[in-house]
Amino acid sequence: MNVTAKEKWDYIIEELSDEFSDAEDLNLDGVIYLIGVQELGQLGRRFKKDDKINLMHIAICKLLEPYGYYEFDYVDEDGWPHYKMLNELPNLKPGEQTVLMKEAVINYFENLDFFEN
């Protein structure tokens, strides 16, 4: 069965919203934040506002790594992963950015076998 990217995206939103959101569906930023928390591996911790921005940065780097924009560099003494930029991100219109990030999120979850169930 050929599942479309939209169907995969909707499935991600449904599953993550059921698990992590009280009332409304998560948006792209919410999904990126959760990926950052997952990549950090400190799941039970409360994060400050600055930490939340850093978590989203970690996620964006991880998501765009397969596209050749970032490369994992090291984990610091506090357990935070760091990436180095390999290539400048292209200038994309907001809609194009959204499409790229949704595609990257779908690829991330495919690599985790999220859709196998």
Interatomic CA distance for residues 113 and 107, integer angstroms: 10
Domain total in the chain: 1
Q: Please give the residue range of the domain that contains residue 43.
A: 5-112
- 70 is a domain residue: yes
- 93 is a domain residue: yes
Beta bridge mates, 84:
71
> Which pLDDT belongs to residue 23?
82
- 117 is a domain residue: no
The bridge status of strand 81-85 relative to strand 70-75 is: antiparallel
Closest CA to 35 of 47, 46, 43, 24: 43
Interatomic CA distance for residues 107 and 77, integer angstroms: 29
**For every one of its 117 residues, what pLDDT tens digit does the chain have, with 9 covering 90 and above?**
567 999 999 999 999 999 998 889 999 999 999 999 999 998 788 899 999 999 999 999 999 999 999 999 999 999 999 999 999 998 999 999 999 999 999 999 999 999 876
Closest CA to 84 of 73, 98, 99: 73
Which residue type does 117 have? N
